[in-house]
Amino acid sequence: MDKSRAFVIVVFLLFLGSPRLGYTDDSQRIRELEKKVEELTRTVNELMARQETAAPRGPAVTEEINEEAETVAPKLTLRGFGHVQYDYSRSDFSDDTSGDTNHFTVGGVDLFITSKISEKISFLNETTFELEADGVNKLDVERVLLKYSANDKFNVSIGRGHTAVGYWNQTFHHGKWLQTTTDRPAIYRWEDEGGILPVHYVGLEFSGTLDMPGGTLSYVSNLANGRGKIADEVKLVEDNNDSKMAGGMLTYKPAAIEGLGFGVNYLHDTIPARAGTTDRGAEIDENLSGAHIFYLKDPFEVILEGQIINHFNHATGMRDETVGSYGQLAYKMGKYKPYVRFDWLNISDRDPFFEGLVEDETSHTLGIRYEITTFNALKLEYRHSDKDNSKSNEATIQSSFAF
């Protein structure tokens, strides 16, 4: 039908543009034109009627239908995320010295591949190319998952992914463009950036959504290789002990309040002993529990989360507790989204597993996000942080994008 219309319009425009041949006056010309219009309209209607009686599909639609019906090779889709930023930091250290730094940072490239292998099987891969401070390029396969979706209630994935530990870890991954702030909360730092939680797993993930009275209950659970001997060791191809890490997270979303969700998570692992140490000569039992609540409905963004890590050290017979939480609030005003966040982290100072990490940290963040385009955001952020009594005032300008 569109082609018929286009044809009529083209013919008519050509007709209008042609020299006036043989017309004695305008009224005669108009009568001729009207006659032509009537003829063309009849033709269009006839064509449309024919299309309606036959299967109403044009070549493009037929192609789309064929594409859907045929079993063709899986189609790989490549997307990416990236960011560049400028940081300024002024610090007063706990040893009464002070200093300031400023630098530009290329945040690397986060390539994201998806492919639908069959109706129920899909593949996902997230690989980051990072630039390290020493100038070395680093490639990290962050997520690689083969997922089988049986139905809405049950999906199973195998590979490497993000653990069912908290809302942030399940929602925001390595690309910074999706998150409102320039960086992750302190409790969800990556393992290789001083993080305290096992945010990656290698193993199985089970997930699904169940209809419940008054809302939906979604679950995610993991059965995976446990932690390594230190916090920054994700066991990719082997496990140090026979015990596997097992955990799960539940989130309930009431239908009555759109945008609201709340839930809990729990994880158990046995951390292997570390040879050559006195206080790590035996395994550590790790029990991690947390809670989250969020309200995400424009213009509001409210996220509150807390995690408690309980370690029982079989070498010392002592129990240590590490606690962390954050609260984030944002309010969208057109292309602008001002936000605040409060981070708090208290690591048990005698827990040998977290040896070398900042033990007490509080951070206040104030920022504004501006949507330059649909897939490019500019974030201006100020942070005041206190890490083991070293105080810093930091500012970041970050441009993050999806491509």
Partner 1 sequence: MKKYIILTLLSMLLAGTGPAYGGEIAIIVNKDNAIEDISFRELAMIFKMEKKFWGDGSPIYLVTRGSRSPEKEVVLKTVYKMDEQELKKFYLAKIYQGVAPSFPKVIASNQSMKAFVQQVPNAVGYIDAAYADDNVKVLKIEGKLPGENGYKLAEGG
Q: Which residues bind partner 1 (CB under 8 A)?
A: 1-2, 5, 8-9, 12, 16, 26, 30, 33-34, 37, 41, 44-45, 48, 51, 55-58, 60-61, 64-65, 68-69, 77, 79, 81, 112, 114-116, 119-120, 122, 124, 143, 145, 147, 149-152, 157, 161, 170-171, 173, 175, 178, 209, 216, 255, 298, 371, 374-375, 402
Whichever of 143 and 274 has its CB closer to partner 1, that residue is 143
Whichever of 57 and 350 has its CB closer to partner 1, that residue is 57
Task: Give the Cα separation of 362 and 349 in Å (integer).
Answer: 16
Cβ-based neighbour number of residue 102 at 10 Å: 10
Residue entry with tokens 């390290």: 132
Whichever of 294 and 354 has its CB closer to partner 1, that residue is 294
Whichever of 33 and 366 has its CB closer to partner 1, that residue is 33
Task: Give the Cα separation of 146 and 116 in Å (integer).
Answer: 10
Whichever of 161 and 247 has its CB closer to partner 1, that residue is 161
Task: Give the CA dihedral 154, 158, 161, 165, nearest 10 degrees.
Answer: 50
CB of 178 to partner 1, least distance (A): 5
CB of 264 to partner 1, least distance (A): 20
Whichever of 69 and 275 has its CB closer to partner 1, that residue is 69
| φ and ψ at residue 27, rounded to 5 degrees | -65, -35
Torsional class of 260: left (φ above 0), alpha (ψ -120 to 50), beta (otherwise)? beta
Whichever of 79 and 391 has its CB closer to partner 1, that residue is 79
CB of 161 to partner 1, least distance (A): 8
Whether 223 contacts 204, CB under 8 Å: yes
Quick one: DSSP state of residue 335? T
For residue 189 the two structure tokens come to 């730092």
Whichever of 254 and 306 has its CB closer to partner 1, that residue is 254
CB of 88 to partner 1, least distance (A): 29
CB of 1 to partner 1, least distance (A): 6
CB of 256 to partner 1, least distance (A): 10
For residue 260 the two structure tokens come to 């609201």
* Residues contacting 170, CB < 8 A, separation 6+: 162, 164, 220, 249
Whether 204 contacts 157, CB under 8 Å: yes
CB of 46 to partner 1, least distance (A): 11
Task: Give the Cα separation of 343 and 361 in Å (integer).
Answer: 8
Handedness of CA 63, 68, 74, 78 (dihedral sign): positive
Whichever of 319 and 335 has its CB closer to partner 1, that residue is 335
Q: What is the Cβ-side half-sphere exposure of residue 243, based on CA atoms within 13 angstroms?
A: 17
CB of 124 to partner 1, least distance (A): 5
CB of 305 to partner 1, least distance (A): 17
Whichever of 143 and 227 has its CB closer to partner 1, that residue is 143
CB of 136 to partner 1, least distance (A): 27
Q: 323-338 burial string, b = 16+ CB within 10 Å, else e?
A: ebbbbbbbebeeeebb
Whether 190 contacts 198, CB under 8 Å: no
Task: Say if residue 131 is exposed, middle or buried (CB neighbours under 10 Å; 0-12, 13-18, 19+).
Answer: middle
